[in-house]
Amino acid sequence: MEYVSPEGLRLDGRRPMEMRQIRAEIGAVSKADGSAVFEMGNTKVIAAVYGPRQVQNKSQQMNDQALVRCEYSMANFSTGDRMRKPKGDRRSTEISLVIRQTMEASILTHLMPHSQIDIFVQVLQADGGTRSACINAATLALADAGIPMRDLVTSCSAGYLNSTPLLDLNYVEDSAGGADVTLGILPKLDKVTLLQMDSKLPIDILENVMQLAIEGCKAVANYIREILLENTKQLEFRRGV
Amino acid sequence: MVGLSLGEQHFIQGGIAQDLRCDGRKRLAYRPISVETGVIPQANGSARVRMGATDVIASVKAELGKPSLLQPNKGKVSIYIDCSSTAEPAFEGRGGDELSAELSTALQRCLLGGKSGAGAGIDLSSLVVIDGKICWDLYIDGLVVFSDGNLLDALGAAIKAALSNTGIPRVHVAAGASSDEKPEIDVSDEEFLQFDTSAVPVIITLTKVGKHYIVDATSEEESQMSSAVSISVNRQRCICGITKRGGAGLDPSIILDMISVAQHVSEQLINKLDSEIASAEAGDDDES
Protein backbone atom coordinates (compact mmCIF):
# COMPACT_ATOMS: atom_id res chain seq x y z
CA MET A 1 0.00 0.00 0.00
CA GLU A 2 1.13 3.51 -0.71
CA TYR A 3 1.50 5.57 2.46
CA VAL A 4 3.15 8.54 0.85
CA SER A 5 1.75 9.70 -2.47
CA PRO A 6 4.07 10.77 -5.32
CA GLU A 7 3.15 14.37 -4.47
CA GLY A 8 4.59 13.76 -1.01
CA LEU A 9 1.33 13.68 0.91
CA ARG A 10 0.35 11.12 3.52
CA LEU A 11 -2.99 9.35 3.87
CA ASP A 12 -4.44 12.09 6.06
CA GLY A 13 -3.04 14.84 3.86
CA ARG A 14 -0.03 15.70 5.98
CA ARG A 15 3.52 16.21 4.74
CA PRO A 16 6.04 13.58 5.98
CA MET A 17 7.52 15.98 8.52
CA GLU A 18 4.24 17.42 9.71
CA MET A 19 2.68 16.65 13.05
CA ARG A 20 -0.99 16.22 13.66
CA GLN A 21 -2.78 19.11 15.28
CA ILE A 22 -2.06 19.16 18.99
CA ARG A 23 -4.32 20.64 21.60
CA ALA A 24 -3.95 20.68 25.35
CA GLU A 25 -6.04 21.86 28.23
CA ILE A 26 -5.14 22.07 31.88
CA GLY A 27 -7.55 21.26 34.69
CA ALA A 28 -9.92 18.73 33.17
CA VAL A 29 -10.58 16.87 36.42
CA SER A 30 -11.61 19.45 38.95
CA LYS A 31 -10.66 17.85 42.24
CA ALA A 32 -7.42 16.12 41.26
CA ASP A 33 -4.20 17.82 42.34
CA GLY A 34 -3.25 18.22 38.70
CA SER A 35 -4.92 17.20 35.47
CA ALA A 36 -4.78 17.75 31.74
CA VAL A 37 -6.28 16.70 28.44
CA PHE A 38 -3.91 16.17 25.53
CA GLU A 39 -4.97 15.61 21.94
CA MET A 40 -2.79 14.65 19.00
CA GLY A 41 -5.11 14.56 16.02
CA ASN A 42 -7.79 12.03 16.88
CA THR A 43 -5.89 10.60 19.83
CA LYS A 44 -7.24 12.04 23.05
CA VAL A 45 -6.14 11.26 26.59
CA ILE A 46 -6.88 12.57 30.06
CA ALA A 47 -4.27 12.50 32.79
CA ALA A 48 -4.84 13.10 36.48
CA VAL A 49 -2.22 13.39 39.19
CA TYR A 50 -2.91 12.80 42.86
CA GLY A 51 -0.15 13.64 45.28
CA PRO A 52 2.38 13.97 46.72
CA ARG A 53 0.51 12.35 49.58
CA GLN A 54 0.88 9.73 52.26
CA VAL A 55 1.94 6.31 51.00
CA GLN A 56 -1.09 4.01 50.96
CA ASN A 57 0.79 0.76 51.18
CA LYS A 58 3.35 1.19 53.95
CA SER A 59 5.58 -1.59 52.67
CA GLN A 60 6.22 0.39 49.47
CA GLN A 61 7.33 3.50 51.34
CA MET A 62 10.83 4.69 50.59
CA ASN A 63 12.85 6.75 53.05
CA ASP A 64 14.93 8.62 50.53
CA GLN A 65 12.56 9.29 47.66
CA ALA A 66 8.94 9.53 46.59
CA LEU A 67 7.06 6.56 45.20
CA VAL A 68 5.74 7.20 41.70
CA ARG A 69 2.86 5.06 40.45
CA CYS A 70 1.09 5.08 37.15
CA GLU A 71 -1.98 3.44 35.72
CA TYR A 72 -2.90 3.47 32.05
CA SER A 73 -6.38 2.47 30.95
CA MET A 74 -8.29 2.59 27.72
CA ALA A 75 -11.98 3.38 27.52
CA ASN A 76 -14.15 0.70 25.90
CA PHE A 77 -15.12 3.12 23.16
CA SER A 78 -11.62 4.39 22.45
CA THR A 79 -10.81 2.11 19.53
CA GLY A 80 -12.51 1.80 16.15
CA ASP A 81 -13.93 -1.63 16.91
CA ARG A 82 -15.46 -1.74 20.32
CA MET A 83 -13.48 -3.85 22.72
CA ARG A 84 -14.11 -4.99 26.21
CA LYS A 85 -10.84 -5.73 27.89
CA PRO A 86 -10.33 -6.22 31.56
CA LYS A 87 -8.19 -3.65 33.29
CA GLY A 88 -4.56 -4.57 33.66
CA ASP A 89 -3.95 -6.60 30.50
CA ARG A 90 -0.34 -6.99 29.40
CA ARG A 91 -0.29 -4.08 26.99
CA SER A 92 -1.59 -1.56 29.52
CA THR A 93 0.71 -2.90 32.22
CA GLU A 94 3.65 -2.37 29.90
CA ILE A 95 2.58 1.14 28.95
CA SER A 96 1.98 2.00 32.63
CA LEU A 97 5.53 0.91 33.35
CA VAL A 98 6.95 2.91 30.45
CA ILE A 99 5.12 6.06 31.51
CA ARG A 100 6.13 5.59 35.13
CA GLN A 101 9.80 5.20 34.30
CA THR A 102 9.77 8.14 31.92
CA MET A 103 8.09 10.46 34.41
CA GLU A 104 10.22 9.23 37.31
CA ALA A 105 13.30 10.31 35.38
CA SER A 106 12.19 13.91 35.46
CA ILE A 107 10.48 14.18 38.85
CA LEU A 108 12.78 15.31 41.65
CA THR A 109 11.74 12.39 43.81
CA HIS A 110 14.45 12.94 46.44
CA LEU A 111 12.70 16.14 47.55
CA MET A 112 9.58 14.25 48.66
CA PRO A 113 10.59 11.23 50.73
CA HIS A 114 7.90 9.14 52.47
CA SER A 115 5.30 10.19 49.93
CA GLN A 116 3.56 8.86 46.88
CA ILE A 117 2.55 10.40 43.56
CA ASP A 118 -0.16 8.73 41.49
CA ILE A 119 -0.47 9.36 37.77
CA PHE A 120 -3.61 8.08 36.08
CA VAL A 121 -3.97 8.26 32.34
CA GLN A 122 -7.19 7.41 30.56
CA VAL A 123 -7.35 7.06 26.78
CA LEU A 124 -10.61 8.42 25.41
CA GLN A 125 -9.73 7.94 21.78
CA ALA A 126 -6.88 5.95 20.31
CA ASP A 127 -5.55 6.74 16.84
CA GLY A 128 -1.88 5.88 17.09
CA GLY A 129 0.69 7.46 19.35
CA THR A 130 -1.22 6.87 22.59
CA ARG A 131 2.06 6.34 24.42
CA SER A 132 3.35 9.75 23.38
CA ALA A 133 0.05 11.47 24.07
CA CYS A 134 -0.09 9.89 27.53
CA ILE A 135 3.40 11.07 28.42
CA ASN A 136 2.66 14.59 27.22
CA ALA A 137 -0.60 14.66 29.18
CA ALA A 138 1.14 13.31 32.28
CA THR A 139 3.82 16.02 32.03
CA LEU A 140 1.18 18.73 31.89
CA ALA A 141 -0.75 17.21 34.77
CA LEU A 142 2.40 16.94 36.90
CA ALA A 143 3.24 20.56 36.14
CA ASP A 144 -0.33 21.54 37.03
CA ALA A 145 0.01 19.69 40.34
CA GLY A 146 3.13 21.74 41.07
CA ILE A 147 5.40 18.74 41.41
CA PRO A 148 9.09 19.67 41.13
CA MET A 149 10.61 18.36 37.92
CA ARG A 150 14.00 18.59 36.24
CA ASP A 151 12.40 19.40 32.91
CA LEU A 152 9.19 18.83 30.98
CA VAL A 153 9.36 15.37 29.44
CA THR A 154 7.79 15.34 26.01
CA SER A 155 7.30 12.52 23.61
CA CYS A 156 6.62 11.98 19.95
CA SER A 157 6.81 9.08 17.55
CA ALA A 158 8.31 8.78 14.10
CA GLY A 159 8.37 5.99 11.57
CA TYR A 160 9.73 4.92 8.26
CA LEU A 161 7.42 3.93 5.40
CA ASN A 162 7.84 3.96 1.61
CA SER A 163 11.50 4.99 2.14
CA THR A 164 10.40 8.21 3.80
CA PRO A 165 10.81 9.14 7.47
CA LEU A 166 7.38 10.13 8.82
CA LEU A 167 6.66 12.15 11.93
CA ASP A 168 3.83 11.36 14.39
CA LEU A 169 2.27 8.17 12.98
CA ASN A 170 -1.47 7.67 13.11
CA TYR A 171 -3.16 4.30 13.60
CA VAL A 172 -3.12 3.25 9.93
CA GLU A 173 0.54 4.13 9.52
CA ASP A 174 1.39 2.58 12.86
CA SER A 175 -0.13 -0.76 11.89
CA ALA A 176 1.45 -0.72 8.43
CA GLY A 177 4.37 -2.82 9.64
CA GLY A 178 7.16 -0.29 9.22
CA ALA A 179 9.46 0.79 11.98
CA ASP A 180 7.91 2.86 14.76
CA VAL A 181 10.22 4.83 17.01
CA THR A 182 8.73 6.36 20.14
CA LEU A 183 11.01 8.86 21.76
CA GLY A 184 10.81 10.84 24.96
CA ILE A 185 13.22 13.64 25.71
CA LEU A 186 14.02 16.23 28.33
CA PRO A 187 14.16 19.13 25.86
CA LYS A 188 16.17 21.63 27.92
CA LEU A 189 18.75 19.12 29.10
CA ASP A 190 18.74 17.51 25.66
CA LYS A 191 18.58 13.98 27.04
CA VAL A 192 16.62 11.00 25.83
CA THR A 193 14.58 9.31 28.56
CA LEU A 194 12.49 6.95 26.47
CA LEU A 195 13.35 5.12 23.30
CA GLN A 196 11.37 2.26 21.86
CA MET A 197 11.45 0.84 18.39
CA ASP A 198 9.84 -2.16 16.78
CA SER A 199 10.69 -3.71 13.41
CA LYS A 200 14.10 -3.12 11.85
CA LEU A 201 15.91 -0.14 10.35
CA PRO A 202 19.40 0.45 8.94
CA ILE A 203 21.48 2.44 11.41
CA ASP A 204 21.96 5.51 9.23
CA ILE A 205 18.21 5.74 8.66
CA LEU A 206 17.50 5.29 12.35
CA GLU A 207 19.61 8.35 12.93
CA ASN A 208 17.39 10.39 10.60
CA VAL A 209 14.19 9.02 12.06
CA MET A 210 15.37 9.71 15.60
CA GLN A 211 16.38 13.22 14.65
CA LEU A 212 12.90 13.74 13.24
CA ALA A 213 11.31 12.44 16.43
CA ILE A 214 13.51 14.76 18.50
CA GLU A 215 12.32 17.72 16.43
CA GLY A 216 8.75 16.57 17.09
CA CYS A 217 9.37 16.33 20.82
CA LYS A 218 10.81 19.84 20.83
CA ALA A 219 7.78 21.19 19.00
CA VAL A 220 5.54 19.54 21.58
CA ALA A 221 7.69 21.00 24.37
CA ASN A 222 7.28 24.49 22.95
CA TYR A 223 3.53 24.05 22.77
CA ILE A 224 3.33 22.66 26.32
CA ARG A 225 5.38 25.56 27.61
CA GLU A 226 3.01 27.99 25.91
CA ILE A 227 -0.01 26.30 27.48
CA LEU A 228 1.56 26.37 30.92
CA LEU A 229 2.49 30.00 30.54
CA GLU A 230 -1.03 30.87 29.43
CA ASN A 231 -2.45 28.94 32.40
CA THR A 232 -0.15 30.71 34.83
CA LYS A 233 -1.11 34.08 33.39
CA GLN A 234 -4.76 33.26 33.93
CA LEU A 235 -4.12 32.18 37.50
CA GLU A 236 -2.24 35.41 38.07
CA PHE A 237 -5.12 37.38 36.62
CA ARG A 238 -7.62 35.61 38.85
CA ARG A 239 -5.57 36.34 41.93
CA GLY A 240 -5.53 39.96 40.87
CA VAL A 241 -1.76 40.32 40.88
CA MET B 1 -13.64 8.74 49.87
CA VAL B 2 -14.64 11.74 51.91
CA GLY B 3 -13.11 12.46 55.26
CA LEU B 4 -15.33 14.83 57.22
CA SER B 5 -15.04 15.99 60.78
CA LEU B 6 -17.97 15.77 63.16
CA GLY B 7 -18.55 19.51 62.85
CA GLU B 8 -18.67 19.33 59.07
CA GLN B 9 -21.08 16.41 59.22
CA HIS B 10 -23.42 18.37 61.50
CA PHE B 11 -23.13 21.38 59.22
CA ILE B 12 -24.24 19.36 56.19
CA GLN B 13 -27.08 17.67 58.05
CA GLY B 14 -28.25 20.95 59.61
CA GLY B 15 -28.17 22.70 56.25
CA ILE B 16 -30.31 20.03 54.66
CA ALA B 17 -32.81 20.21 57.53
CA GLN B 18 -33.11 23.97 56.96
CA ASP B 19 -33.47 23.66 53.18
CA LEU B 20 -30.19 25.46 52.51
CA ARG B 21 -27.34 23.23 51.40
CA CYS B 22 -23.61 23.92 51.51
CA ASP B 23 -23.51 25.23 47.95
CA GLY B 24 -26.60 27.41 48.45
CA ARG B 25 -29.06 25.09 46.75
CA LYS B 26 -32.47 24.10 48.01
CA ARG B 27 -33.23 20.44 48.70
CA LEU B 28 -34.83 19.82 45.32
CA ALA B 29 -32.50 21.87 43.11
CA TYR B 30 -29.98 20.48 40.64
CA ARG B 31 -26.48 21.74 40.07
CA PRO B 32 -25.87 23.39 36.69
CA ILE B 33 -25.90 20.81 33.89
CA SER B 34 -23.84 21.12 30.75
CA VAL B 35 -24.07 18.81 27.76
CA GLU B 36 -21.58 18.39 24.94
CA THR B 37 -22.41 15.98 22.11
CA GLY B 38 -20.24 14.25 19.52
CA VAL B 39 -17.16 14.14 21.76
CA ILE B 40 -16.07 10.71 20.45
CA PRO B 41 -16.11 10.90 16.64
CA GLN B 42 -15.37 7.18 16.30
CA ALA B 43 -18.64 6.23 17.99
CA ASN B 44 -22.13 6.35 16.45
CA GLY B 45 -23.16 8.79 19.11
CA SER B 46 -21.59 10.25 22.21
CA ALA B 47 -22.09 12.89 24.84
CA ARG B 48 -20.30 14.34 27.81
CA VAL B 49 -22.41 15.57 30.70
CA ARG B 50 -21.22 17.63 33.61
CA MET B 51 -23.35 18.11 36.71
CA GLY B 52 -21.38 20.42 38.94
CA ALA B 53 -18.03 18.66 39.26
CA THR B 54 -19.36 15.24 38.27
CA ASP B 55 -18.17 14.53 34.76
CA VAL B 56 -19.24 11.53 32.66
CA ILE B 57 -18.99 10.46 29.03
CA ALA B 58 -21.39 8.08 27.30
CA SER B 59 -20.91 6.59 23.88
CA VAL B 60 -23.11 4.45 21.67
CA LYS B 61 -21.67 1.98 19.21
CA ALA B 62 -23.86 -0.05 16.88
CA GLU B 63 -22.83 -3.39 15.42
CA LEU B 64 -24.78 -5.78 13.22
CA GLY B 65 -25.67 -8.99 15.03
CA LYS B 66 -28.23 -11.71 15.32
CA PRO B 67 -31.36 -11.25 17.43
CA SER B 68 -31.89 -13.70 20.27
CA LEU B 69 -34.15 -16.69 19.58
CA LEU B 70 -36.66 -15.63 22.19
CA GLN B 71 -37.17 -12.14 20.76
CA PRO B 72 -36.64 -12.41 17.00
CA ASN B 73 -38.20 -9.02 16.38
CA LYS B 74 -36.10 -7.00 18.80
CA GLY B 75 -32.59 -5.62 18.79
CA LYS B 76 -30.21 -5.92 21.68
CA VAL B 77 -28.93 -3.14 23.89
CA SER B 78 -26.34 -3.47 26.60
CA ILE B 79 -24.97 -0.91 29.01
CA TYR B 80 -21.50 -1.03 30.52
CA ILE B 81 -20.08 1.54 32.87
CA ASP B 82 -16.41 1.97 33.60
CA CYS B 83 -15.06 3.97 36.51
CA SER B 84 -11.82 5.56 35.43
CA SER B 85 -9.06 5.78 37.99
CA THR B 86 -8.71 9.47 37.10
CA ALA B 87 -11.97 9.96 39.01
CA GLU B 88 -10.61 8.67 42.27
CA PRO B 89 -7.37 6.89 43.15
CA ALA B 90 -9.46 4.22 44.90
CA PHE B 91 -10.70 3.02 41.50
CA GLU B 92 -7.21 1.91 40.55
CA GLY B 93 -6.86 -1.67 39.32
CA ARG B 94 -9.98 -3.62 40.21
CA GLY B 95 -11.07 -1.02 42.78
CA GLY B 96 -13.81 0.44 40.60
CA ASP B 97 -15.31 -2.86 39.47
CA GLU B 98 -17.90 -3.12 42.21
CA LEU B 99 -19.22 0.38 41.64
CA SER B 100 -19.14 -0.15 37.86
CA ALA B 101 -21.24 -3.29 38.17
CA GLU B 102 -23.71 -1.58 40.50
CA LEU B 103 -24.13 1.38 38.16
CA SER B 104 -24.43 -0.84 35.06
CA THR B 105 -27.22 -2.97 36.50
CA ALA B 106 -29.04 0.03 37.93
CA LEU B 107 -28.96 1.76 34.54
CA GLN B 108 -30.07 -1.38 32.73
CA ARG B 109 -32.98 -1.68 35.12
CA CYS B 110 -33.92 1.95 34.74
CA LEU B 111 -33.53 2.34 30.97
CA LEU B 112 -33.98 -1.06 29.35
CA GLY B 113 -37.02 -2.40 31.17
CA GLY B 114 -37.54 -6.10 31.86
CA LYS B 115 -35.85 -9.13 30.34
CA SER B 116 -38.52 -9.41 27.68
CA GLY B 117 -37.59 -5.95 26.47
CA ALA B 118 -40.97 -4.60 27.44
CA GLY B 119 -40.91 -1.12 28.87
CA ALA B 120 -37.57 -0.16 27.37
CA GLY B 121 -36.91 3.53 26.85
CA ILE B 122 -35.67 2.78 23.33
CA ASP B 123 -37.92 1.22 20.71
CA LEU B 124 -36.13 -2.13 20.38
CA SER B 125 -38.12 -3.22 17.35
CA SER B 126 -36.69 -0.28 15.38
CA LEU B 127 -33.27 -1.96 15.64
CA VAL B 128 -34.32 -4.99 13.63
CA VAL B 129 -33.11 -5.20 10.04
CA ILE B 130 -34.54 -8.61 9.11
CA ASP B 131 -36.83 -10.43 11.51
CA GLY B 132 -34.98 -13.19 13.34
CA LYS B 133 -31.82 -12.78 11.28
CA ILE B 134 -30.12 -9.45 11.50
CA CYS B 135 -30.46 -6.67 14.00
CA TRP B 136 -28.38 -3.86 15.41
CA ASP B 137 -26.65 -4.49 18.72
CA LEU B 138 -26.25 -1.27 20.62
CA TYR B 139 -23.36 -1.07 23.03
CA ILE B 140 -23.69 1.83 25.41
CA ASP B 141 -20.47 2.53 27.26
CA GLY B 142 -20.25 5.00 30.07
CA LEU B 143 -17.04 6.37 31.51
CA VAL B 144 -16.86 8.20 34.81
CA VAL B 145 -14.22 10.87 34.36
CA PHE B 146 -14.81 12.56 37.67
CA SER B 147 -17.16 11.68 40.45
CA ASP B 148 -18.67 14.25 42.78
CA GLY B 149 -21.84 12.41 43.71
CA ASN B 150 -25.01 11.59 41.84
CA LEU B 151 -23.33 9.43 39.21
CA LEU B 152 -26.49 7.57 38.29
CA ASP B 153 -28.44 10.68 37.30
CA ALA B 154 -25.48 12.05 35.36
CA LEU B 155 -24.95 8.76 33.51
CA GLY B 156 -28.66 8.53 32.73
CA ALA B 157 -28.57 12.03 31.30
CA ALA B 158 -25.40 11.30 29.33
CA ILE B 159 -26.92 8.16 27.82
CA LYS B 160 -30.06 10.07 26.86
CA ALA B 161 -27.93 12.75 25.20
CA ALA B 162 -25.70 10.18 23.47
CA LEU B 163 -28.73 8.35 22.11
CA SER B 164 -30.20 11.51 20.66
CA ASN B 165 -26.81 12.15 19.04
CA THR B 166 -26.72 8.63 17.59
CA GLY B 167 -27.10 7.94 13.89
CA ILE B 168 -27.58 4.32 12.85
CA PRO B 169 -26.60 3.65 9.23
CA ARG B 170 -29.51 2.67 7.02
CA VAL B 171 -29.23 -0.92 5.80
CA HIS B 172 -30.42 -1.96 2.36
CA VAL B 173 -31.36 -5.59 2.00
CA ALA B 174 -30.92 -7.10 -1.43
CA ALA B 175 -34.35 -8.15 -2.65
CA GLY B 176 -35.08 -11.64 -3.90
CA ALA B 177 -32.83 -13.57 -1.56
CA SER B 178 -34.47 -16.80 -0.52
CA SER B 179 -35.41 -17.12 3.10
CA ASP B 180 -32.86 -19.71 4.20
CA GLU B 181 -29.81 -18.12 2.62
CA LYS B 182 -27.71 -15.50 4.33
CA PRO B 183 -29.22 -12.28 3.02
CA GLU B 184 -27.04 -9.76 1.26
CA ILE B 185 -26.98 -6.42 2.93
CA ASP B 186 -25.50 -3.08 2.15
CA VAL B 187 -24.72 -0.66 4.95
CA SER B 188 -25.13 2.89 3.80
CA ASP B 189 -22.38 5.41 4.55
CA GLU B 190 -24.53 8.43 3.99
CA GLU B 191 -28.01 7.76 5.26
CA PHE B 192 -28.48 7.62 8.98
CA LEU B 193 -31.52 6.95 11.06
CA GLN B 194 -32.03 9.01 14.16
CA PHE B 195 -33.54 7.63 17.31
CA ASP B 196 -36.66 8.86 18.89
CA THR B 197 -35.38 9.58 22.37
CA SER B 198 -38.45 11.33 23.71
CA ALA B 199 -39.41 8.13 25.55
CA VAL B 200 -36.03 7.68 27.20
CA PRO B 201 -36.54 8.30 30.90
CA VAL B 202 -34.40 10.44 33.17
CA ILE B 203 -33.16 9.10 36.47
CA ILE B 204 -33.75 11.01 39.65
CA THR B 205 -31.95 9.94 42.78
CA LEU B 206 -33.42 11.07 46.05
CA THR B 207 -30.87 10.80 48.82
CA LYS B 208 -32.18 10.66 52.34
CA VAL B 209 -30.12 12.55 54.88
CA GLY B 210 -31.64 12.77 58.33
CA LYS B 211 -35.38 13.28 58.01
CA HIS B 212 -35.29 14.90 54.60
CA TYR B 213 -34.36 13.86 51.13
CA ILE B 214 -32.43 15.80 48.51
CA VAL B 215 -31.78 15.54 44.77
CA ASP B 216 -28.35 15.69 43.11
CA ALA B 217 -26.28 15.04 46.21
CA THR B 218 -22.57 15.86 46.14
CA SER B 219 -20.12 13.26 47.39
CA GLU B 220 -19.94 15.02 50.79
CA GLU B 221 -23.70 14.82 51.11
CA GLU B 222 -23.72 11.22 49.89
CA SER B 223 -21.35 10.29 52.69
CA GLN B 224 -24.08 11.35 55.14
CA MET B 225 -26.93 9.48 53.49
CA SER B 226 -28.92 6.76 55.19
CA SER B 227 -30.46 5.46 51.98
CA ALA B 228 -31.11 6.56 48.42
CA VAL B 229 -33.84 5.75 45.94
CA SER B 230 -33.26 6.13 42.20
CA ILE B 231 -36.43 6.50 40.19
CA SER B 232 -36.54 6.70 36.44
CA VAL B 233 -39.39 8.74 35.06
CA ASN B 234 -40.27 9.40 31.44
CA ARG B 235 -41.96 12.34 29.82
CA GLN B 236 -45.43 10.91 30.45
CA ARG B 237 -44.53 10.88 34.15
CA CYS B 238 -44.58 7.08 34.15
CA ILE B 239 -42.20 5.26 36.47
CA CYS B 240 -39.82 3.08 34.44
CA GLY B 241 -37.67 1.62 37.18
CA ILE B 242 -36.77 1.97 40.83
CA THR B 243 -33.58 1.05 42.66
CA LYS B 244 -32.96 1.49 46.34
CA ARG B 245 -29.46 1.70 47.70
CA GLY B 246 -27.99 2.25 51.13
CA GLY B 247 -28.29 0.35 54.35
CA ALA B 248 -31.16 1.89 56.26
CA GLY B 249 -34.77 0.82 55.81
CA LEU B 250 -37.42 3.17 54.51
CA ASP B 251 -41.04 3.54 55.45
CA PRO B 252 -43.26 2.49 52.50
CA SER B 253 -45.25 5.72 52.75
CA ILE B 254 -42.02 7.73 52.40
CA ILE B 255 -41.18 5.80 49.23
CA LEU B 256 -44.54 6.71 47.72
CA ASP B 257 -43.96 10.30 48.75
CA MET B 258 -40.50 10.21 47.13
CA ILE B 259 -42.00 8.87 43.91
CA SER B 260 -44.44 11.73 43.62
CA VAL B 261 -41.65 14.22 44.30
CA ALA B 262 -39.51 12.52 41.66
CA GLN B 263 -42.33 12.80 39.15
CA HIS B 264 -42.57 16.50 39.87
CA VAL B 265 -38.80 17.09 39.65
CA SER B 266 -38.49 14.98 36.49
CA GLU B 267 -40.48 17.48 34.49
CA GLN B 268 -37.99 20.28 35.14
CA LEU B 269 -35.04 17.98 34.55
CA ILE B 270 -36.36 16.65 31.25
CA ASN B 271 -37.05 20.14 29.97
CA LYS B 272 -33.65 21.39 31.09
CA LEU B 273 -31.90 18.38 29.56
CA ASP B 274 -33.81 18.59 26.29
CA SER B 275 -32.92 22.23 25.82
CA GLU B 276 -29.26 21.53 26.69
CA ILE B 277 -29.18 18.64 24.20
CA ALA B 278 -30.81 20.75 21.51
CA SER B 279 -28.33 23.58 21.97
CA ALA B 280 -25.39 21.14 22.04
CA GLU B 281 -26.59 19.56 18.80
CA ALA B 282 -27.07 22.95 17.21
CA GLY B 283 -23.54 23.95 18.21
CA ASP B 284 -22.27 20.70 16.74
CA ASP B 285 -23.91 21.36 13.40
CA ASP B 286 -22.43 24.83 13.19
CA GLU B 287 -18.92 23.49 13.60
CA SER B 288 -19.18 20.76 11.02
Whether residue A180 has pLDDT greater than 60: yes
Judging contacts by C-beta atoms under 8 Å, the chain B residues touching residue A122 are 84-86, 143, 145
Cβ separation A73–B139 shorter than 8 A: no
In a domain, A10, yes or no: no
In a domain, A181, yes or no: yes
CATH of the domain at A193: 3.30.230.70
In a domain, A77, yes or no: yes
In a domain, A55, yes or no: yes
In a domain, A142, yes or no: yes
In a domain, A198, yes or no: yes
Ordered domains of chain B (ranges, CATH): 18-287 (3.30.230.70)
Walk along chain B (288 residues) and give the pLDDT tens digit of each residue: 567 899 999 999 999 999 999 999 999 999 999 999 988 888 899 999 999 989 999 999 998 888 888 888 888 888 999 988 888 888 887 888 889 999 999 898 888 876 666 667 777 888 888 888 888 888 999 999 999 989 999 999 999 999 999 988 888 887 665 555 667 777 877 788 887 888 889 999 999 998 899 999 999 999 888 999 999 998 888 888 888 888 888 889 999 999 999 999 999 999 999 999 999 888 876 654
Rounded CA-CA distance A223/A221 in Å is: 5
Q: What is the pLDDT of residue B60?
A: 93
Peptide bond between residue A52 and the one before it cis (omega within 30 degrees of 0)? yes
Q: What is the pLDDT of residue B2?
A: 66
Rounded CA-CA distance B134/B181 in Å is: 12
Q: What is the pLDDT of residue B286?
A: 62
Q: What is the pLDDT of residue B115?
A: 67
- Under the phi-then-psi rule, with left for phi > 0, alpha for psi from -120 to 50, and beta for the rest, what region is B24? left
What average pLDDT does the segment A179-193 reach? 93
Judging contacts by C-beta atoms under 8 Å, the chain B residues touching residue A124 are 39-40, 57, 143
Q: Name the CA radius of gyration of chain A, rounded.
A: 18
Q: What is the pLDDT of residue A168?
A: 94
Continuous segment of H or E residues that includes residue A94: helix A90-106
Tell me if chain A has a CB within 8 Å of the CB of B4.
no
Q: For chain B, what is the total number of helices (H) and then of strands (E)?
A: 5, 12
Higher model confidence: residue B6 or residue A86? B6
Cβ separation A76–B41 shorter than 8 A: no
Whether residue A228 has pLDDT greater than 70: yes
Tell me if chain A has a CB within 8 Å of the CB of B46.
yes
Q: What is the pLDDT of residue B229?
A: 92
Rounded CA-CA distance B178/B174 in Å is: 10
Q: What chain A residue is nearest to B53 in terms of C-alpha separation?
A: A30
Cβ separation B139–A82 shorter than 8 A: yes
How would you classify the pairing of strands B202-209 and B185-194?
unpaired
Q: What is the pLDDT of residue A85?
A: 65
CA of B141 to nearest chain A CA: how many angstroms apart?
7
Minimal Cβ distance to A31: which of B40, B43, B146: B146
Return the number of CB contacts < 8 Å for A and B: 84
What is the span of the domain harbouring residue A49?
Answer: 22-239
In a domain, A2, yes or no: no
In a domain, A8, yes or no: no
CA of B256 to nearest chain A CA: how many angstroms apart?
36
Whether residue A77 has pLDDT greater than 70: yes
Minimal Cβ distance to A84: which of B40, B80, B148: B80
Cβ separation B89–A77 shorter than 8 A: no
Tens-digit pLDDT profile for residues A99-113: 999 999 999 999 999
Rounded CA-CA distance A229/A129 in Å is: 25
Number of separate domains in chain A: 1
